[in-house]
Amino acid sequence: MSSTFGTCLRVTTFGESHGDSVGAVVDGLPAGIPLTEDNIQTQLNRRRPGQSAITTQRGESDSVRILSGVEGGHTLGTPIALVVANGDRRPSDYDSIKGIPRPSHADYTYKVKYGVCASSGGGRASARETVGRVAAGAAAEAFLRERFGVEIVAFVSSVGGISASTPMLDGADSAASNAISQNSIECIDLNTLTRGMVDAYPVRCPASESAKAMEAAILDVMENGDSVGGTVTCVCRNVPAGWGEPVFQKLEAMLAMAMLSIPAAKGFEIGSGFAGAAMRGSEHNDVFVKKQNGLGTLTNRSGGVLGGISNGEPVYFKTAFKPTATIGSHQTTADYEGNDAVLKPTGRHDPCVVPRAVPIVESMAAIVLADMALAQNARMR
Amino acid sequence: MSSTFGTCLRVTTFGESHGDSVGAVVDGLPAGIPLTEDNIQTQLNRRRPGQSAITTQRGESDSVRILSGVEGGHTLGTPIALVVANGDRRPSDYDSIKGIPRPSHADYTYKVKYGVCASSGGGRASARETVGRVAAGAAAEAFLRERFGVEIVAFVSSVGGISASTPMLDGADSAASNAISQNSIECIDLNTLTRGMVDAYPVRCPASESAKAMEAAILDVMENGDSVGGTVTCVCRNVPAGWGEPVFQKLEAMLAMAMLSIPAAKGFEIGSGFAGAAMRGSEHNDVFVKKQNGLGTLTNRSGGVLGGISNGEPVYFKTAFKPTATIGSHQTTADYEGNDAVLKPTGRHDPCVVPRAVPIVESMAAIVLADMALAQNARMR
Amino acid sequence: MSSTFGTCLRVTTFGESHGDSVGAVVDGLPAGIPLTEDNIQTQLNRRRPGQSAITTQRGESDSVRILSGVEGGHTLGTPIALVVANGDRRPSDYDSIKGIPRPSHADYTYKVKYGVCASSGGGRASARETVGRVAAGAAAEAFLRERFGVEIVAFVSSVGGISASTPMLDGADSAASNAISQNSIECIDLNTLTRGMVDAYPVRCPASESAKAMEAAILDVMENGDSVGGTVTCVCRNVPAGWGEPVFQKLEAMLAMAMLSIPAAKGFEIGSGFAGAAMRGSEHNDVFVKKQNGLGTLTNRSGGVLGGISNGEPVYFKTAFKPTATIGSHQTTADYEGNDAVLKPTGRHDPCVVPRAVPIVESMAAIVLADMALAQNARMR
Amino acid sequence: MSSTFGTCLRVTTFGESHGDSVGAVVDGLPAGIPLTEDNIQTQLNRRRPGQSAITTQRGESDSVRILSGVEGGHTLGTPIALVVANGDRRPSDYDSIKGIPRPSHADYTYKVKYGVCASSGGGRASARETVGRVAAGAAAEAFLRERFGVEIVAFVSSVGGISASTPMLDGADSAASNAISQNSIECIDLNTLTRGMVDAYPVRCPASESAKAMEAAILDVMENGDSVGGTVTCVCRNVPAGWGEPVFQKLEAMLAMAMLSIPAAKGFEIGSGFAGAAMRGSEHNDVFVKKQNGLGTLTNRSGGVLGGISNGEPVYFKTAFKPTATIGSHQTTADYEGNDAVLKPTGRHDPCVVPRAVPIVESMAAIVLADMALAQNARMR
């Protein structure tokens, strides 16, 4: 199931960085959902390189075409094929890496796994593969919005050591909040955050002081031929209680798989996450209270899930991304035969992946939630 | 696919906490692998409650029976059904929770999802479900050991705020190591760690000073009718390069899913993890060097994976577990109708899940690796 | 997915003929369905050997135990594990076949596939594996009956060359009917047939003259140390329009897979089947007419499916079974090394599998329909 | 899994008859297999309408484009996306069917299932969907040929009541052969048949007398505004012993599913098939004999499979297709509201689908075999 994600909603992506095109087939989406190329293009544009001074300048226009599954602006319930042509190909950029696997890239492992190498090196481990995910995610999101009013907003919560604070969605318990935001200087409210607020900053951190510091950090690594990592936090609001399949396909398990499947991801936490591992039960437990649509919880350290199933509270989680492996400095390493070799700076790359990872995180979240929505419906309650 | 995990190796678990029995069916394991009930019992005994003063005293003997798929001490290549009877059932323990969903438990979400409740509350969200995982994992491990010499060792790396240091498997770069172990007092060598070393301490942290402090912390919460969270770190050695399916079934993605599917898990990180998000590319990249079996890397911040595929270096990762939701104190919460209610302490529970989570983490890691081994073999290189 | 069938409803069977037990895990059935061991036992008893003079005398009692997923006589929505112990094992019966693969049995192909052999020869290719299917099918049927009033009835439609006529459910067009029943002497009405009517005859053909001739044919081959093949026809009534997944999981495709997965099955046809291939469109097309629940068709050559989706008319199909491979005569064949060898009659066997195949066909039909029902529900119409 | 077929090799097709394009994504094919657009085009041309006087004149050029997964004429091991633009679209052809579901078409069931209708009526139930199958099948076949020398040849074995004889691949036993070919006038040797021999006749029956009669029958129904059904027989040679997954994914079960998933298919039989159901065990059993690559069988009534696993003998099977539902005469039927309605002849259609079904049958067979080859390899013998 390598290039396919999901059970009831199945997303299959295809395409090499330097082949004809990239895209996705989205199968299982209900019929009658409003969907146009424009809906999808909006998210693709947010993923596209060259949006600002702090992203790579590879000039892809990334225009999506819907090949099937949509007629008259609505889904037919049949597979939706989405294609984006690869425009700005420069395979010659990769000439210098022939014979030398790039450190912390997938060149070496792809060679071992397949016995062959695509001209672009790491094959499908390219960031360009995520075009298909974002296109598919936009379709999944159209369904979630139309049928359930689900809202998904992601943002950059840290770059290098600089982080913006995100309380555990309760406000009541500052000790707990502090546990996850000790280095932060500003606080972001996950209950009201919008994509507009996020996009107001090139670095996509909706807190002006933090954003300024993050931007400076990125410009600094750019100047020094280096790169830097970061984290993306995502909140999903209006998720009905009851989504997520018990045991192995728990909602948090599928989100973790989805996030760790994004290139450069190294960590995932939901709700209290790693900070929760340092807490006591009496301070971590979310007690129930009466809310408008049934029961809710007073606090939300659980991150909106209990036993793998959504409980009606906002679902929020954070994903860690390592610094971009491609850097603008010489690296002393080995060639495929094990001989000493020096890898020269090459190609174009982002000094920090997290601003462009924001729509990718949202897309994968949408795909997971839509799959879980359909799975719950199959249960016939 | 709720209760089934894996594609080439498929593990299906079944059983409620207070039903007749729990177990698993393991399908897809090659024929001819040595496997006996004793092999499986060894790991089940490590998961069993009542092993020490710091675990629950529910007295399950947890004896496994192999119903199929094994003949003459070897696998037949057919489904292996494994069953463990539920011995020490006390459903009356749960009488007091009728009508009140336990905070941070799955009682409420199971009710919403299924419309019915098992008498034991959260149905399959019980820790007892993991008996099937451990039994199945032992079978997967037998295969990995026999065919590849894979060694999997997990241990408790923190309890509450107390953590033992684990360097990023290289030693060369103390700055990086510090990034993930700033609070630690002792260092554990992932290259040489054995299960024997881990089991020498009831808390399963193979570092005597840390272990002592962790044990004290657990006894403290027990006395105070509370609970505490923690983390489990796991290393998988001798994993051949080439395992892990590109794009969605990346090795780290499947490990993340597997770990987040364990009850009480809230976070996952591989290699440098969240600490890596604070680093620069020049310090994070693992350059290649010649090693005995081809290329290796000088450092291992990647955690043994590149682009979702194992690179031949040890795979290591950490999982965060929240504090046990069941606590020995009164909790002011709401009943199913939303009325104020007080939940009294009830049943038996572990004050801290991580010591018993150790074999569960190992088991899920084994299931993931075995599935990826078979998937790579299907590729026909 | 070898031992697992289905997507939304997943049935996994396990067990060797001469191991500890056989059984199944049924995952994905909705909660709240009435289900007891008695419901399941009823169908298992119809599959059990030793029911009459024309079936094998292996004396299995085949008592089912529900290990999980059911509480208080209702399903919990969690995996239902069903186990039947293997009672009357006589592995010594198989001593004589050591070294010689039985003709038209799976001994040889299992050996090639797995490299090992279970002591009973063909491993999971045993008729005993179908115990798990029947147990699982009974659970699926309980759901279909409770929620949709679906009725599934199968019967023996031919033994050797002797067949009972089954019109294409319309009566109107005798030419068409004749096309599929030219050798038949009696006619069975699929609209009113019940299991009671079927079980009134040991051979399970609910047409007295045909049944008598079939029984005589079976007794004849028994006396002569031979065996004979036959066909089973099955009708599923009250199947709502809309079940069956377009393209690859068409209702007829899944039924075909399900039927051909039964040991000894060699053919499948739905509606007009092979006879339809000899017809013209003008005589084969089923024109629409107004019926009580919307549109229906005047005739039903389609067998209740259009484009892979049920149309509300009865679904009916026929499965061909070859003669039992185990016969009571000497066979001149080769041993595993290719040397000439003579296989002596051995073990106990059915001279004709079709009477006992009736509940197996019904069970597989129920599993397919339940899976399709849930899949359609996931579609969120 | 509606539009995806296979487990280790996964083929996903997409596209409506009157949308932008149709195609497929083929995932799981090993790297390094020679594959070009020309390889694929060859089979697409055999499926294309307008090849002769007896097929529909819709003038599709059906040129395939490979979007991904192939570089330098070889597969990369990554998903292969294949697209064919829809050229000769005439949606106005379908104006007359608005409001009236075509008899024995999927218009009605698609409407019930999805609640919406594509402008072309039955949505994905169109013959045009098979373009994706044929493109994908050509890729699967390239792998089977390269790695195993597998040869797959299908042909028209009957049209209406006219059939060509195909012995059960043994020649030795004329009684058995007669059982399946009593009406035939000529005999086709499955051991030596080639696609060239098949394509020598427009009707794709490689027996000149039968072909002549079949062609006449098709021209006759064309003249009379009618259509006629037929059967396609397929042989797969050089299939190694050991392919096919026991229990549910038996080789014959997957072939049956694959064949019944083709539009208009109503029946499937492998080896002796329905004729075998009339035989005795002593005449049906295939005894073993020493052959060049190990054991073989003297006769081949089994059709190359034993217990769901290939035994090294040629695999052969037959698929029944109903007469084309679209006919050139008026049909008295009902509209969607149940009112009486007369459907006038419309659009362009094949009077008989079987000549063009030949490459579709071959393609689905190739997809099944390639999936089974990879699954067996995953088994790690």
- At residue A144, the 3 state secondary structure works out as helix
User: pLDDT tens digits, residue range B124-177?
Assistant: 888 899 999 999 999 999 999 999 999 999 999 999 989 887 665 543 343 334
Measured between beta carbons, the chain D residues lying within 8 angstroms of A80 are: 14
Give the residue from B275, B246, B380, B362 showing the smallest Cα distance to B315.
B362
Report DSSP letters for B208-266, one per residue: HHHHHHHHHHHHHHHHTT--B-EEEEEEEESPPTT-S-STTS-HHHHHHHHHHTSTTEE
CA–CA separation, A122 vs A133, rounded Å? 18
Query: Which residues numbered 154-183 in A keep a CB inside 8 Å of some CB on C?
Result: none
- Which residues of A are less than 8 Å from D66 in CB distance? 20
Cβ separation of A229 and B290 shorter than 8 Å? no
CB contact under 8 Å between B80 and C14, yes or no, is: yes
Q: Rounded to a whole number, what is the distance in Å from the CA of A296 to chain D's nearest CA?
A: 35
Tell me what pLDDT residue D2 has: 81
Q: Which amino acid is at B190?
A: L
Candidates D29, D379, D381, partner chain B, best to mutate (most B CBs within 10 A): D379
**Closest C-alpha to C108, from D5, D297, D86:** D297
Per DSSP, D188 falls in state -
Q: At C354, give phi and psi (nearest 5°).
A: -60, -35
Tell me the C-alpha distance between A133 and A232, whole Å.
Answer: 17
> Angle formed by the axes of helices B251-260 and B354-378, to 10°?
150
CA angle A24, A26, A32 (to 5 degrees): 135
pLDDT at D211: 95
Q: Which of residues 245-264 of C touch D (CB under 8 A)?
A: 245-250, 252-261, 263
Interface C-D, measured as beta-carbon pairs within 8 A, has a size of 393
Scan for tokens 């260092």, then name that residue.
B187
CA distance C352 to C341: 26
User: Which residues lie across from D5 on neighbouring strands?
Assistant: D11
Q: Cβ–Cβ of B379/D77 closer than 8 Å?
A: yes
Give me the pLDDT at residue C98, please: 75
- State the nearest Cα–Cα gap between C1 and chain A, in angstroms: 12
Residue pLDDT, tens place only, A246-270: 999 999 999 999 999 999 999 999 9
Helix B354-378, helix B130-148: angle, nearest 10: 50
How many angstroms away from the CA of A72 is the closest CA of chain B? Answer: 32
CA angle C316, D156, D189 (to 5 degrees): 115
Tell me if C360 sits within 8 A of C370, measured CB to CB.
no
Biggest CA-to-CA distance, chain D: 67
Nearest to C378 among A78, A147, A375 (CB): A375
CB count within 10 Å of CB D293 equals 8
Give the chain C residue nearest D161 (alpha carbons): C278
Chain D stretch 201-240, residues whose beta carbon is closer than 8 A to a beta carbon of chain C: 221, 226-231
CB-based contact A281:B325 (threshold 8 Å): yes
Whether the CB of D381 is below 8 Å from some CB of chain C: the reply is yes
Helix, strand, coil content of chain A in percent (nearest 5): 30, 25, 45
Written in H, E and C, the secondary structure of A291-352 is: ECCEEEECCCCCCCEECCEECCCCEEEEEEECCCCCCCCCEEEECCCCCEEEECCCCCCCCC
- Whether residues B14 and C69 touch (CB distance < 8 A) is answered with yes
Instruction: Identify which of A54, A258, A298 has the alpha carbon closest to the alpha carbon of residue A173.
Output: A298
D2 near A CB under 8 A: yes
Assess D317–C contact: CB distance below 8 Å, yes or no. Answer: no
CA distance A114 to C13: 34
How far apart CA C74 and CA C72 sit, in angstroms, is 6
**Interatomic CA distance for residues C3 and A175, integer angstroms:** 51
Residue D37: Cβ within 10 Å count: 17
Nearest-10 crossing angle of helices D130-148, D354-378: 50
Q: Does A347 touch chain C (CB under 8 A)?
A: no
Written as one letter, the residue type at A65 is R
d(CA B305, CA C168): 60
Which of the pair, C340 or D347, is modelled with greater confidence? C340
Distance from CA of A85 to the nearest CA of D (A): 9
Residues from chain B that touch A213, judged by Cβ atoms under 8 A, are none
- Say yes or no to pLDDT of B181 above 50: no
Chains with 3 or more CB pairs closer than 8 angstroms to B? A, C, D
What is the phi/psi pair of residue B145, to 5°?
-70, -45
Decide if C200 touches D, using CB distance below 8 A. Answer: no
CA distance D37 to chain B (A): 23
Distance of residue A370 Cα from the nearest chain D Cα, in angstroms: 15
Q: How confident is the model at residue B92 (pLDDT cuts 50, 70, 90)?
A: low
Nearest to D227 by CA among D166, D156, D304, D159: D159
pLDDT value of residue C120: 65
Residue A3 CA to chain centroid, in angstroms? 16
Reference D13, options D140, D132, D139; nearest CA is D132
Residue D23 reports pLDDT greater than 50: yes
Predicted pLDDT at A116: 81
Binary contact (A76, D32; C-beta < 8 A): no
User: Contact D277/C321, CB-based, under 8 Å?
Assistant: yes
Q: Does any CB of chain D come closer than 8 Å to the CB of residue C121?
A: no
Establish if D346 touches chain C: CB-CB under 8 angstroms: no
- Alpha carbon of residue D35 to chain centroid: 21
pLDDT of residue D381: 63
Does residue B379 sit at the D interface (CB-CB below 8 Å)? Answer: yes
- What 3-state class would DSSP assign to A35? coil
Helix (H) or strand (E) holding D367: helix D354-378
Average pLDDT of the segment spanning A32-44: 96
Which residue does chain C place closest to B9, by CA atoms?
C1
pLDDT at residue D67 tops 60: yes
pLDDT of residue B89: 61
pTM (2 d.p.): 0.95
Residues of C in contact with A374 (CB under 8 A): 378-380
Q: Do B83 and C80 touch (CB under 8 A)?
A: no
Question: What pLDDT, on the 0 to 100 scale, is given for residue C355?
Answer: 97
Place of tokens 């399950």: B60
Listed by number, the residues of chain C in 51-90 with a beta carbon closer than 8 Å to a beta carbon of chain B are: 65-69, 71, 74, 76-81, 83
Using an 8 Å CB-CB cutoff, list chain A residues near B297: 103
- Partner-chain residue, chosen from B221, B249, B270, that has the shortest CB–CB distance to A2: B249
Q: What percent of chain B has pLDDT over 70?
A: 88
C25 to chain B, any CB pair closer than 8 A? The answer is yes
Closest CA to A140 of A232, A226, A25: A25
Distance CA D351, CA D218 (A): 7
Instruction: List average pLDDT for each run of 10 residues in chain C, which is 381 residues long.
Output: 90 93 96 96 92 73 94 95 84 67 94 82 82 97 97 97 70 39 65 96 95 96 96 97 95 98 98 96 96 90 96 97 94 95 83 96 98 90 63
Chains with ≥3 CB–CB distances under 8 Å to C:
A, B, D
Phi, psi of B141 (to 5 degrees): -65, -35
Residue D181 has pLDDT above 60, yes or no: no
| pLDDT one-digit tens code per residue, A323-358 | 999 999 999 999 999 999 999 886 667 899 999 999
Indicate if the pLDDT at residue D178 is higher than 60.
no
Q: Is the pLDDT of residue B293 over 80?
A: no
D379 has a chain B CB within 8 A of its CB: yes
> Using CA atoms, how far apart are residues C282 and C295, in angstroms rounded to an integer?
20
Between helix B251-260 and helix A251-260 the angle, nearest 10°, is 160
Contacts of C13 (CB under 8 A, 6+ apart): B79, C3, C22, C23, C24, C129, C132, C133, C136, D247
Domains of chain D: residue spans and CATH: 4-378 (3.60.150.10)
For chain D, what percent of residues have pLDDT higher than 90?
76
Confidence of residue A123 (pLDDT cuts 50, 70, 90): confident
Mean pLDDT lowest for which of A13-27, A242-256, B83-97, B161-175?
B161-175
- Chain C residues with CB under 8 Å of B25 CB are 3, 12, 14, 25
Which candidate, B306, B178, B169, B297, places its Cα nearest to that of B234?
Answer: B169
Nearest by CB: A266 against B246, B277, B333: B277
| For A28, nearest residue in chain C (alpha carbons) | C379
D34 interfacial to chain A (CB closer than 8 Å): no
CA distance D287 to C101: 9
Q: Which residues contact D337 (CB under 8 A, 6 or more apart)?
A: none
The closest of C113, B62, C231, B301 to D375, measured between CA atoms, is C113
Nearest to C19 among B28, B68, B114 (CB): B68
pLDDT at C182: 40
- Size (chain B), residues: 381
Residue among A31, A78, A378 whose CB faces C378 most closely? A378
- Tell me the per-residue pLDDT of B207-236, one tens digit each, with 9 for 90 and over: 999 999 999 999 999 999 999 999 999 999
SS3 at position D62: coil
Say what the pLDDT of residue C166 is.
64
Which chain A residues are closer than 8 Å to B320 by Cβ?
269, 273-274, 276-277
Amino acid code (one letter) for A66: I
The average pLDDT across B349-368 equals 96
Beta bridge partners of B4: B12
How many residue pairs bridge chain B and chain C with CB atoms within 8 Å of each other? 146
Which of D146, D248, D379, D380 is the best mutation test for B, with the most CBs of B within 10 A? Answer: D380
Write the CA distances from B363 to A357, B11, B67, B123, integer angstroms.
Answer: 32, 11, 20, 22
Task: Please report how the helices B37-47 and B354-378 are oriented relative to each other, as an axis angle in degrees rounded to 10.
Answer: 140
Q: Residue D380: is its pLDDT beyond 90?
A: no
Put simply, the answer to whether C378 touches A381 (Cβ < 8 Å) is no
